[in-house]
Amino acid sequence: MNTHVEKKIVIFLNKLHWVPLDFASKIISNIAFLSVLWFAVIIFAMSIDFSFGLDIFVKLIMVFILHYIISEGIIKHGAKKLSLQRIRPYVAFPKEIRGIGRNFSDSSFPSSHMASVTGGLVILFSAFPVVWPALLAFAVLLAFSRLHNGMHYPSDILAGIFLGLMYGNIVLALF
C-alpha cells in the first residue's frame, strides 16, 4: 500500500475526536485489559469443562509464545538491529497525528496487538465457532483502535493479521 495513502487513512481516523470513542479505543488497546479478557475466556472455558478449558489455555499460550518469538523477537528485534524499524505514525507525524493511549515507541511493523489477538481468536473460533461474529467484531474494533490511536499504518495491521492467522493455524495443526 502506498505510504502516502496509509498516512492519510491514519490521519483521517485519528482526527475522529470524540471522548467516548477515544476512551473505548484506549481500553480495547490496553494490554492489561486484553490480558484480563484472555484470562476471563480461559476461566469461562474451564467452567464448561476443565480439560476443554485447559486445552484452550495451552493453545493460547503456544500462540503467544510463537508471537513473541517471531513478531517481537525475529521481526521487530531484527529490524532494530538492521536499522529497519518502521516509525509509528504519531512519532513520524507529530503535528498531524496524536498518540492516544499508551504511546509505544518500538517499530510499528507488524502490529503486535493484531498478531497476538488474531492468533488467539483463531483458537477461540476453533473452540466456539458459533461466536464468530463477536470474534470478528472484536478484531475489527482492535484494528480500528490501533489506527485511530496513531500507533499503526494499515499495512502494519494487515501484517499482524496475517501473522496471527499463521500462529493460530500452526498451533491448531500441532494438535
**Integer Cα distance of 148 and 12 in angstroms:** 8
Instruction: Please state, in angstroms and rounded to a whole number, the distance separating the CA atoms of residues 58 and 35.
Output: 15
Q: For a pLDDT cut of 90, what percent of the chain falls above it?
A: 78
pLDDT at 79 over 80: no
pTM for the model stands at 0.91
Quote the domain boundaries for residue 25.
3-174
Report the share of the chain in percent with pLDDT over 70.
Answer: 98
Q: Is the pLDDT of residue 80 over 80?
A: no
Residues 6+ apart with CB under 8 A from 98: 14, 90, 150
Residue 2 pLDDT class (50, 70, 90 cuts): low
Annotate 80-114 with DSSP letters as a single string: HHTT-PPPPHHHH-TTT----SS---S--SS-HHH
Q: What is the pLDDT of residue 83?
A: 67
The rounded distance, in Å, linking the Cα atoms of 113 and 31 is 8
Cβ–Cβ < 8 Å for 53, 46: yes
Which tens digits make up the pLDDT trace of 94-130?
Answer: 999 999 888 887 888 999 999 999 999 999 999 999 9
Nearest to 112 by CA among 157, 154, 61, 145: 157
Quote the number of domains for the chain.
Answer: 1
pLDDT recorded at residue 140: 97
Domain of 63, CATH number, reads: 1.10.606.20
